[in-house]
A and B are shown apart, each in its own frame.
Chain A
Amino acid sequence: MTAETRPLRPAHPLESWEPAFAALTREVAAQGGDLVLEPAPQARATDLRLDPAGPARPAVAAALGAGLPTHPNTWTATDDGEIVWLGPDEWLVTSRYARPDAAEPALRPLVAGHGGAAVDVTGQRVALRLRGRLARELLALGCALDLHPSAFPGGHCAQTLLGQAGVLLLALGDGDDYLIHVRSSFAGYLAEWLLDAATEFRGAAPAAGT
């Protein structure tokens, strides 16, 4: 048996869903709607725990290039990612360009001496991006939160339930652009749920093969 050599490349866990996502966008557009569902690039993620009133905070903010959001359920942008509020002493730091082995070691020395922790959680979540005019309407079918821009504007985030899956929802724009972080093992379920929930936006023809 001859060994086939293929170049290794990073694959998104939901890559195999992309044709189904593209078909959704196409069929919704044919109905005059606007809905784009796509896998978001896998970012390096670090779970950061630290005392919000402690001495480590300025150094962390300097290292990340942005302050840690203090207001519950908000996120701030950094050069290549986000800092997301997860709890009063917990944040999720994402970075699209950090080396796989760099994010955690960069933060850990800053917080370790002050009772904090930085743990790499890159494999924990999978990200999906949902945008377009119908995005909010689609989310409303499975999420109890008020996602109207007056209550959930850009810069807000929420850990909540979408369908039966726990998600971390980030508002990138005002009401039409969302990033959905979901636990890896729930990613397939959520992709299936979103496609199913979007059936009503596709028009009369039943969706084949999804």
Chain B
Amino acid sequence: MIQFQAINETLTRRGAATLSWLRGWGSLIWFAYSALVHALSPATYNSATRSVIQKQIYFTAWQILPGYTLFAALLSFVIIQIVVSTARDFGLSDFALETVIRVLVLEILPLVTALFVALRSSAAINTEVALMNVHNEIKALEDLGVDAMQLEFIPRVIGGTLSVLALSTVSGLMALILAYVVVYGAHPWNFPAYTLVVSKIFDLGILLGLGFKVVLFGMAVTVIPISEGLRAPSKLFFVPIAVLRGMVRLFFVLMLIEVASLALKYI
């Protein structure tokens, strides 16, 4: 009898945990859908929401642009050197440039950008939304006839997505320039050969796929923290738990997007 009771309690606990986990994904998917619908609606854009979008882009992209560009250049330079010298050692120099561009511009840099933004801005967004929830600030805005979803959350999704897109583009362009300099040297004579390789890699399908992946990264780094922040119970001690859950979920989603992108391209 006692054994049955123990089994029953364990199953109930596991069931509740599974249901809570599923509810988390459900509310995340619902929020992502809602964010997308709001983002595409012209009614979302007013003086207040535009101002929040500008602030989000300023804090997420503009403020970190010099430091991040320098870091991306350093990382790109090291990886390019490793790939080029390894390819030379194995007599595969002809493939070095293509390999470098595929690895860096299509895979590593967008992922590193998303992770960088996640560590810097997503944790802050998750905490802020959870605190807004705890302190009743969302209800205070609604009492004034201001929809918190439209004013506070959607602009963050739009600003965050545009920021990831912009930072990925800048770091990708930086990597393309560095790849040319390392492989061909700092002179323009091999530019036609270089453009031939680049145009072979970046066909329409790859470009669209890259854009779609970066947009998904951008949405993930904002939608997941906001959704987790909103889901947190209105108790102050739940805020760190909400941030922890948000960051773990975000990490898995980013990896899932990357793995899916690799599988679609190469398998």
Whether A associates with B in a native complex is no
